[in-house]
Amino acid sequence: MATGNTRAAGRATDQRRSWKSWTLLALAILAVLLFWQWGSIGGQASAATAYAAKTACSCRYLGGRDLDSCQGDFVAGMGAVFVSQDETEQSVTATVPLVSSDTAHFHSGFGCVLDNWDD
């Protein structure tokens, strides 16, 4: 009887090791793919935040609409972009957390203009 319990315990330990190995392998593959695609992800996020900041700023300060209603003007697939406004600066900032952020300011006579990039 003791031999049967020992074998079952050994199989359970092997299954846990196997599960941990597969999890570590999957995480390593995910990290490599993320590293490999980071330039593309960053570029797309930068374009999305610039578009969102300019569009929302124009909607808010030229169109006079509420910022929440301006988000309906964004193209599909921009769910990761968050926008906020600064009434005193008359600006809108769009952010993809941990990846990209852009701000557009309203200038009388020029409309909404993106801030300079530090690239």
Tens of pLDDT along the chain (119 residues) come to: 455 555 555 555 666 677 888 888 888 888 787 676 656 677 888 899 999 999 999 999 999 999 989 888 888 888 889 999 999 999 999 999 988 899 999 999 889 999 986 65
- Residue 41 is part of which domain span? 2-114
- Residue 29 domain-assigned? yes
- CA dist 44 to 18, 32, 47, 78, 94, Å? 37, 19, 5, 10, 13
- Residue 119 domain-assigned? no
* Beta-bridge partners for 95: 82, 101
Amino acid sitting at position 98: L
- The structural domain count of the chain equals 1
- Residue 72 domain-assigned? yes
Residues 51-67 pLDDT 10s: 999 999 999 999 999 99
pTM given for the model: 0.67
- Residue 104 domain-assigned? yes
